[in-house]
Amino acid sequence: MNIAKTFKMSLVLYSGGHYFENLALNKKCMDLSGRRTPKVTFIPASSDYGLEEFREFVEAWDKIKNCQFVYFPIDYQYSDELKNRALSSDIIFLSGGNTFYFLKHLKENGLMEALATAHQSGRVIAGLSAGAILMTPNINTASFPSFDCDENFVGIKSKKALNFVNFEIFPHYIHSARYRSALKTYSQKSRNGIYALPDGTGIVVTQQSLEVIGPSYLFLNGHEHNMSKVLRNDVQTFCPVERRRFPRLTDTNF
Amino acid sequence: MKGQKKSSTNTNNNKVVGKKEYSKILGIDGRHPLQTKVPEMCVMYQVRQRPGAQVAYFNFDLAKEMGLIPDNHQAQLTSKLQDALIETFSIVIINEWDIENKKTFDSKTIKPNKYMATRYLQLQHASKAGKTSGDGRSIWNGHTQHKGKNWDVSSCGTGATCLSPAVSIHEKYFKTGDKTVSYGCGLADFDDALMAALMSEVLHRKACPTERTLCILKFKDGTSINVRAGQNLIRPAHQFRYLKSSNHSDLKALTDYYIQKEQNNGNWNHELKKASPYEELLDIACSDFAKSAALFEREYIFCWLDWDGDNILASGAGILDYGSIRQFGVFHKEYRYDDVERWSTTLLEQKSKARYIIQTYAQMADYIITGEKKHIKEFQSHPILKKFDDRFSHYKTVFMLTKIGFGIEEAKTFINKNIKLTKHFEKLYEHFERLQTASGTYQVEDGVSSDAVFCMRDILRELPKLYLAKQEVIDAQAFVDIAKSEFAKPQDLKISSSRKRNIKSFQSAYLKMISQLAKEQGQNIDRSLLKITMRSSLINRPDFLTGNGVIRVAHFLVKDKKGPRIKELMNLLPKFIQHQVEGTTAVKQSEQSEQSQKDMRAIIRIVHEHREDI
Which of A51, A53, A149 has the highest number of chain B CBs within 10 A, making it the mutation to test binding with B? A51
Residues, chain A, total?
Answer: 254
Q: Any idea which of B45-59, B180-194, B422-436, B581-595 has the lowest mean pLDDT?
A: B581-595
Chain B residues with CB within 8 Å of chain A CB: 462, 465-466, 468-470, 474, 478, 481-482, 526, 530, 533-534, 537-538, 541-543, 579, 582-585, 587-588, 594, 597-598, 601, 604, 608
Q: Is it the case that residue A249 has pLDDT exceeding 50?
A: no
Say if the Cβ atoms of B462 and A58 lie within 8 Å.
Answer: no
Task: Render pLDDT for B173-220 as a digit per residue (tens, 0 to 9).
Answer: 999 998 887 667 899 999 999 999 999 999 999 999 999 999 999 999
B485-498 average pLDDT score = 96
Q: How far is B614 from chain A (nearest CA, A)?
A: 21
B590-611 average pLDDT score = 83
Q: Which of the four pLDDT bands, split at 50, 70 and 90, describes residue B270?
A: low
Q: Which of the four pLDDT bands, split at 50, 70 and 90, describes residue A234?
A: very low
Position with higher pLDDT, B317 vs B181: B317
Task: Render pLDDT for B449-473 as a digit per residue (tens, 0 to 9).
Answer: 999 999 999 999 999 999 999 989 9
Position with higher pLDDT, B345 vs A242: B345
B35-39 average pLDDT score = 97
A243-247 average pLDDT score = 36
Q: Is it the case that residue B504 has pLDDT exceeding 70?
A: yes
A208-213 average pLDDT score = 88
DSSP A148: S
B473 → chain A, closest CA residue: A81
Which residues on A lie below 8 Å from B542 (Cβ)?
47, 76-77
Q: Is it the case that residue B7 has pLDDT exceeding 80?
A: no
- DSSP readout, B206-271? TT--B-EEEEEEE-TTSEEEEEEEES----HHHHHHHHHTT-HHHHHHHHHHHHHHHHHTTS--S-
Cα separation values, B129 from A62, B123, B246, Å: 64, 9, 10
SS3 for B80-131 is HHHHHHHHHHCEEEECHHHHHCCCCCCHHHEEEEEEEEEECCCCCCCCCCCC
Which residues on B lie below 8 Å from A58 (Cβ)?
530
Q: How far apart are CA B261 and CA B575, in angstroms?
A: 33
Q: How far apart are CA B202 and CA B166, in angstroms?
A: 32
Which residues on B lie below 8 Å from A48 (Cβ)?
543, 579, 583-585, 587-588, 604
Say if the Cβ atoms of A50 and B481 lie within 8 Å.
Answer: no
Which residues on A lie below 8 Å from B538 (Cβ)?
51
Of residues B469, B482, B583, nearest to A51 (C-beta): B583
Q: What is the mean pLDDT of chain A?
A: 86
Please give the backbone phi and psi of residue B343, each rounded to the nearest 5 degrees, phi first: -100, 150
SS3 for B402-436 is HHHCCCHHHHHHHHHHCHHHHHHHHHHHHHHHHCE
Q: How far apart are CA B382 and CA B497, in angstroms?
A: 45
Which of A82, A93, A99 has the highest number of chain B CBs within 10 A, making it the mutation to test binding with B? A82
A-B Cβ pairs (cutoff 8 Å, strict): 81
pLDDT at position B583: 73
Per cent of chain B over pLDDT 70 is: 94
Position with higher pLDDT, A209 vs B415: B415
Q: What is the mean pLDDT of chain B?
A: 91
Q: How far apart are CA B77 and CA B55, in angstroms?
A: 9
Q: B338 by DSSP, 3-state: which?
A: strand
Of residues B466, B474, B579, nearest to A48 (C-beta): B579
Q: Is it the case that residue B13 has pLDDT exceeding 50?
A: no
Helices (H) and strands (E) in chain A, counts: 8, 11
Q: Is it the case that residue B547 has pLDDT exceeding 50?
A: yes
Q: Is it the case that residue B272 has pLDDT exceeding 90?
A: no
Q: Which of B186, B465, B527, B545 is nearest to A37 (CA)?
A: B527
Which residues on A lie below 8 Å from B481 (Cβ)?
79
Chain A residues with CB within 8 Å of chain B CB: 39, 41, 46-52, 54-55, 58, 68-73, 76-82, 85-86, 88-89, 97, 151, 153
Q: Which of the four pLDDT bands, split at 50, 70 and 90, describes residue B31?
A: very high
Inter-residue contact B219 to B52 (CB < 8 Å): yes
Per cent of chain B over pLDDT 90 is: 79
pLDDT at position A237: 30
Q: How far apart are CA B513 and CA B516, in angstroms?
A: 5
ipTM comes to: 0.83
Burial class (CB in 10 A: 0-12, 13-18, 19+), B33: middle
pLDDT at position B269: 64
pLDDT at position B273: 67
* β-strand pairing of A39-43 with A91-94: parallel
Q: Is it the case that residue B588 has pLDDT exceeding 60?
A: no
Which residues on B lie below 8 Å from A41 (Cβ)?
469
Residue type, B594: E
pLDDT at position B271: 60
Say if the Cβ atoms of B533 and A71 lie within 8 Å.
Answer: yes
pLDDT at position B1: 30
Q: Which of the four pLDDT bands, split at 50, 70 and 90, describes residue B594?
A: confident
Q: How far apart are CA B102 and CA B96, in angstroms?
A: 10
Q: How far is A190 from chain B (nearest CA, A)?
A: 27
Inter-residue contact B600 to A153 (CB < 8 Å): no
Residue B443, H or E segment: strand B442-444
Which residues on A lie below 8 Å from B468 (Cβ)?
68-71
Task: Render pLDDT for B553-580 as a digit per residue (tens, 0 to 9).
Answer: 999 988 777 777 777 888 888 889 988 8
Q: Which of the four pLDDT bands, split at 50, 70 and 90, describes residue B19?
A: low
Say if the Cβ atoms of B542 and A47 lie within 8 Å.
Answer: yes
C-alpha dihedral sign at B411, B412, B413, B419: positive
Inter-residue contact B88 to B23 (CB < 8 Å): no
Q: Which of the four pLDDT bands, split at 50, 70 and 90, describes residue A245?
A: very low
Inter-residue contact A10 to A127 (CB < 8 Å): no
Task: Render pLDDT for B218-233 as a digit per residue (tens, 0 to 9).
Answer: 999 999 999 999 999 9
Paired strand residues for B454: B484
**What is the pTM for the complete model shown?**
0.89
pLDDT at position B324: 85
Of residues A51, A58, A97, nearest to B537 (C-beta): A51
Q: How far is A225 from chain B (nearest CA, A)?
A: 30
